[in-house]
Amino acid sequence: MTISPLQKERLLYAPKLPGMLRNGIAEISVKEGQETQSVADQEKIKALFPNTYGKNEITFEKGTNTSEAKKQVVGVILSGGQAPGGHNVISGLYDALKATNPDNVLYGFKGGPSGLLEDDYVEFTDEFIDAYRNTGGFDIIGSGRTKLETEAQFAVAAEVAKKHGITAIVIIGGDDSNTNAAVLAEYFAAHGTGVQVIGCPKTIDGDLKNEDIECSFGFDTATKTYSELIGNIERDANSAKKYWHFIKVMGRSASHVALECALETQPNICLISEEVAEKKMSLSSIADYIADSVADRAADGNNFGVAIIPEGVVEFVPEFSVLIAEINELLAGAKADEFNALPTWKDKYAFIEKGLTKESMAVFAILPETIQQQLFLERDPHGNVQVSLIESEKLFSALVKAKLEERKKAGTYNGKFSPLHHFFGYEGRCAFPSNFDADYCYSLGYNAFMLIQYGYNGYLSKISNLSKPAEEWVAGGMPITKMMNMERRHGEDKPVIRKALVELDGKPFKFFEAHRAEWAKETCYLFPGAIQYYGAPSVCDLTTRTLALEKGE
């Protein structure tokens, strides 16, 4: 196979480990900390997880390894969307496993959790692993979104594990995947299978974080990739001086990606979904906010700018959420067939007008026709609007254009507004991992095996103190149940890991809030450039602005 010069060099990169994991397997001891409890709904979570709830947090440190010496056969699964660094989690897991005992075995289940259920796997070897070190993507074994959540699935998983003599399963995924890991761990414990389950925190969205998990892997690389592109666009905008660029970035439930990109590039506008919800902002008020920046810059002769739009922002607009709920109700059951049978958009519009409340129809009416139609595209498996299909970057540029035309008629605006649109998502999910993600992910995998070797079950691999050099990172583990609460899902109360939204009183948002008025009017663009892999650590090992601000650096 022909590979690029960069890939050839990256395959040779030796990821850095936390100091206490560099001592050699024989010199890694464990220190138990406080007992834990869930972030909320303690009694309910405890009742659902009687065998894995309330366990101690643990930290690894230098000392004599007191773990039981036994052959380990481990299975690993990549679950959910891709994130840079997944291959290094597997590499770190494999290296620790083989360093402990060359006879240890690592199986990779293909295509996500379904590979475990279907017993579709590959046994890793040195040659196999070496071809994927420090590379992006999940193509080493593929990923999938099958959920492990039923008793029947757990029973199949237990049988597959028994067939291969598997002693532990590592699930690499986001909040839903690690929720499934916690439930599977409880099942294995309750049924005396002897199989451990360890999770690793993955998601480019950055919403799997809390006081213990400082950062999910992939966030660093993805936001650096998007920020490079945004910086390039800013440079182009400042050169051509005639376009407003509306850039949508991934982040369905939280705006961590948008905020980090804004901190990296200092655009004129960045919407934060959590603030939109907190202030109960309407579509009209958001459009006015952006239009104010366009008009202020035009008054200075700057008919160009950059606006960052989080992927899921429309769901945080209260009036839009009500509209979505009414549309879901409007097309429930047989009504969907009746609507789809109507021959023209005019007929469908009349159907919609008749079915919505006056308030929601007023919101619907101000939307561009293309966005109106996107609200009635293919439904999700539950019959609901797929909000991710809405081109919110085009929605807001259209609303801003309408506002500016009103201002022109009123004589309060005399600029030019030429919008261009971009969506950055998949570009960042499989990028070559940054040095930070390469190191962090390798450490997560190496650490996951230490949790297995010491007999822990239902734990998340945890690496902290991440804003410092890798030598100062702290390795350990925490019970997954500590992150859980009860939420309403599909009509039932379910135990789930709580998503972390942008904290409006947190340091990263406060820094953004303190500077955005200046950025909105002036041209204060920053140009991060491409991710750097070789050179000064101050550039190559740079952490995210979000993490640096959170740590007061």
Active site residues: 205
- Tokens 């655009």: give the residue: 267
Q: Cβ distance 180 to 149 under 8 Å?
A: yes
The pair phi, psi for residue 395, each rounded to 5°, is -60, -50
Please report the beta strands in 209-304, taking only residues with DSSP state E, as ranges in sequence order: 244-249, 269-270
**Amino acid, res. 119:** D
In a 13 Å sphere around the CA of 184, the CA atoms on its Cβ side amount to: 29
Alpha helical stretches, state H, 251-344: 256-265, 273-278, 283-299, 318-330, 335-340
Strands 168-173 and 196-201: parallel
Four-residue CA torsion sign, 527, 532, 536, 540: positive
Q: For residues 226 and 267, what is the distance between their CA atoms, to the nearest angstrom?
A: 13
Q: How far apart are CA 495 and CA 483, in angstroms?
A: 10
CB of 47 within 8 A of CB of 202? no
Where does 367-497 have alpha helices with state H?
A: 369-374, 392-410, 426-429, 435-453
Cross-strand partners of 425: none
Exposure on the CB side of residue 150, measured as CA atoms within 13 A = 7
For residue 77, what are the β-bridge partners?
A: 171
CA-CA distances (angstroms) from residue 499 to 46, 179, 211?
20, 11, 13
